[in-house]
A and B are shown apart, each in its own frame.
Chain A
Amino acid sequence: MAPQSVICKVIHNREIARGIFDMSFACPGMAELARPGQFVHIACGEGNLLRRPISIADILPGALRVIYEVKGEGTRYLSQLKEGDPVDVLGPLGRGFDLSRASGNAILIGGGIGVFPLLPVAKLLGKRAYVALGFRSASAAVLTEEFSAVSAGVHIATDDGSMGYHGFVTDMAEMLSGVNPTILYACGPKPMLKNVKLLAEKFGVPAEISMEERMGCGIGACLVCACKTRKNGEEGFSHVCKDGPVFDASEVIFE
């Protein structure tokens, strides 16, 4: 189905951790089309020319929810939107997670602001979803209760040891081998995703990973959001907005 370009109405927009905002907006048609792992491309005021790609954190009846970190002018504009304000959204865009590949249990691995697109995955997989989340520290840990409520269980790792496992989230996820995962679903910083790819090889299961890159049009026309991949033996640049953001980890070339 074709994506839509719609002026939506903000339902709520609030800060849930330092610099992290949780926003929902009404978009009946778009919400019906949206799949876990897809993203929306949001216009951020007249002064910022480019839209900002933000992954979908929840698919609600007639609405979508996104969670984003204020990083620059564009996201600062978004953070100032209030209930009832118009927000210009293009979506749903991209290739999401293929949940039909989870023939049994799945391990979901999220790092930092990469945990958000995994929430709709956890909701759909329910008790088959074992969730491993990594954060800088306890103060940056968000959404842990929501993940707990819908999944088979949540394990937390922090860089500084202030909460849960002290170390890499992928090292912690490796200790979950006993759940016999049939696939890994992951989103987070590139070094983490590289480790997820290695972990999947160790487990002998596939992994689907969500990539990020600076984006232009969001629909596959401008070719700026390049991601190095190997497909059918041929190396080249795929595009995060249309070929992704979710890729099979075996296709992605990390430098």
Chain B
Amino acid sequence: MKMSVNIAGVELKNPVVTGSGTFGFGEEYGEFYDLSELGGIGIKGLTLKKRDGNPPPRIAETPLGILNSVGLQNPGVDYYLEHDLPKLRQHDVKIIANIAGNTVEEYCEMAEKVSAGCDLIELNISCPNVKEGGVAFGTSCNMVEHITREVKKHAAVPLVVKLSPNVTDIAEIARAAEAAGADALSLINTLLGMRIDIKTRRPVLHNNVGGMSGPAVKPVAVRMVWQVANAVKVPVIGMGGIQTAEDAIEFLLAGATAVSVGTANFRDPYAALKVVRGIEAYMRENGIEDVAELTGGVRPY
């Protein structure tokens, strides 16, 4: 039974990775299980300089989902490379470095720096929680094309462009990224949402709005993965509300080559590992030899 998948020349031992921002730099979850069991680890979004992030509250619960507004708190790329990366490198697992910047130049500089210490770069042009940069780069075809083309020149490892769902036509954005040289695409980032406390008339999040994730967004994510996978040739990493292997298999059938487990880690620290085991069990039960057979296997009407 073959569990490994190939993303732009990088072989993941299985199709399950973790969602950036939900898994820190891996260390905390490494106390629960061997991180080498995963296909890859999407690390917390990095910026050129240390960022403090937004004031609390940064999280709100919604029906079968959450809103977050962390605002890319991180120690800065240099600190990460020196202190956190060496620990993570002790595990036999592919590392996906998520990078964000305020300007195109910053993204390029980031790409150069992290190329030395990761297997894939995930271009974060879809973070809804920062005032500058972030999602502003990810919502127009022209901007996506421009930033992808520029960063690609500075990336020594394959470039995965992470798409925002907060757009009118995600397939169009996906085609722009592919045309500019993206080696793979990942989607969806969080959906912009809001909650209001009716007693205080204040938003629950200090940032007023935040990114929504969790099982509630899954049908939207599956639909977008399906649309994008049909629009491009590059591999797609699908994510959005995956809690179980059944959820993950939906994304694979919709056209994803790999899947990412995010918010589910908060509920169950073993969530990503259970998805790996569950996919294996499904393949055994259904006589599937190669997990790649599932990719795009949906039979649409």
- The answer to whether A219 and B56 touch across the interface, beta carbons within 8 angstroms, is no
**Least CB separation from B204: chain A residue:** A214
A175 interface residue per 8 A CB criterion:
no
Contact A5 to B56, CB < 8 A, known contacts A49-B65, A51-B266 = no
Q: Once the chains bind, are B73 and A214 in contact (CB under 8 Å)?
A: no
Q: Closest approach, in angstroms, between the C-beta of A218 and any C-beta of chain B?
A: 8
Q: Are B28 and A221 in contact (CB under 8 A)?
A: yes
* Residues A221 and B265 in contact in the complex (CB < 8 Å), given A5-B270, A236-B52: yes
Known contacts A5-B32, A214-B60, A216-B59; A223 and B23 CB within 8 A of each other: no
Alpha-carbon distance A90/B270, docked complex (angstroms): 11
> Is there an interface contact between B53 and A223, defined as CB atoms closer than 8 Å?
yes
Assess whether A43 is interfacial by the CB under 8 Å rule: yes
Could you tell me if B73 and A237 are in contact, using CB atoms closer than 8 angstroms? yes
What's the minimum C-beta distance from B9 to chain A, rounded to whole angstroms?
29
Could you tell me the distance in whole angstroms from the C-beta of B268 to the nearest C-beta in chain A?
7
* B70 close to A223 (CB less than 8 A): yes
Which of B56, B68, B214, B267 is in CB contact (< 8 Å) with A227? B56
> How far, in angstroms, from A90 to B21 measured CA to CA in the complex?
20
Q: What separation, in Å, do the CA atoms of A220 and B66 have in the docked complex?
A: 17
Query: Is A11 interfacial (CB-CB < 8 Å)?
Result: no
Is A48's CB under 8 angstroms from B68's CB? no
Q: How many A-B residue pairs have CB under 8 A?
A: 95
Query: Taking CB as reference atom, which chain B residue is nearest A43?
Result: B267
How distant is A99 from chain B, measured CB to nearest CB, in Å? 24
- Counting CB contacts under 8 A, is B92 at the interface? no
Q: Which of B29, B58, B60, B73 has the most CB of A within 10 A?
A: B58
Instruction: List the A residue with the shortest CB-CB distance to B24.
Output: A221
Residue B117 interfacial (CB < 8 Å): no
Known contacts A49-B66, A219-B28; is-contact A224 B58 (Cβ 8 Å): yes
Contact A51 B21 (CB under 8 A): no
CB neighbours of B68 from chain A (8 A): 216, 222, 224
Q: Which residue of A217, A220, A223 contacts B265 across the interface (Cβ within 8 Å)?
A: A217
B239-270 Cβ-contact flags toward A at 8 Å (1 or 0): 00000000000000000000000010111111
Contacts of A48 in B (CB 8 A): 61
Known A-B contacts A5-B32, A49-B215, A217-B22; the reply to A222 vs B56 at CB < 8 A is no
Kindly provide the distance from the CB of B163 to the nearest chain A CB, expressed in whole angstroms.
22
Q: What B residues does A218 contact at CB under 8 A? A: 266
Contacts of B270 in A (CB 8 A): 5
Report chain B residues within 8 Å CB of A242.
28
Q: Determine the chain B residues whose CB is within 8 A of the CB of A2 once the complex forms.
A: 31-32
Question: In the complex, are the beta carbons of A224 and B267 less than 8 A apart?
Answer: no
Q: Give chain B nearest CB distance to A244 CB in angstroms.
A: 12
Q: How far is the CA of A228 from the CA of B29 in the complex (A)?
A: 25
CB pair B56–A51 under 8 Å, yes or no, is no
Chain A residues within 8 Å of B56, by CB: 213-214, 224-227, 237
Residues of B within 8 A of A50 (CB): 59, 61, 66, 266-267
Which residues, 86 to 130 on B, are CB-close (under 8 Å) to A? none
What residue in chain B is nearest A51 (Cβ atoms)? B267
Known: A43-B267, A226-B73. A237 touches B53 (CB 8 A): yes
The answer on a CB contact under 8 Å between A214 and B28 is no
Query: In the complex, what residues of B have CB within 8 A of residue A222's CB?
Result: 21-22, 24, 59, 68, 70, 266
Q: B57 within 8 Å of A by Cβ?
A: yes
- Chain A: which residue is nearest B22 at the CB level? A222
> Is A66 an interface position by the 8 A CB rule?
no
Is the pair A5, B266 in contact by a Cβ cutoff of 8 Å?
A: no
Asked whether any CB of chain A lies closer than 8 Å to the CB of B1, the reply is no
Minimum CB–CB distance for A30 against chain B, Å: 14
Asked if A3 is at the interface (CB within 8 A of a chain B CB), the reply is yes
What would be 21 A-B contacts, judged by CB atoms less than 8 Å apart?
A5-B32, A5-B268, A5-B270, A43-B267, A48-B61, A49-B215, A50-B59, A50-B66, A50-B267, A213-B57, A214-B60, A216-B66, A217-B265, A217-B266, A221-B44, A224-B57, A224-B58, A226-B55, A227-B56, A228-B55, A236-B52
- Which A residues form the contact surface with B (CB < 8 A)? 2-3, 5, 43, 47-51, 90, 213-228, 236-237, 242
Question: Can you add 13 more A-B contacts, CB < 8 Å, to A5-B32, A226-B56?
Answer: A3-B31, A49-B65, A49-B214, A50-B267, A214-B59, A219-B29, A220-B28, A221-B44, A223-B24, A224-B57, A224-B68, A226-B53, A226-B54
Interface pairs A-B: 8 shortest CB-CB: A221-B24, A224-B59, A2-B31, A224-B58, A221-B28, A226-B56, A217-B266, A219-B28
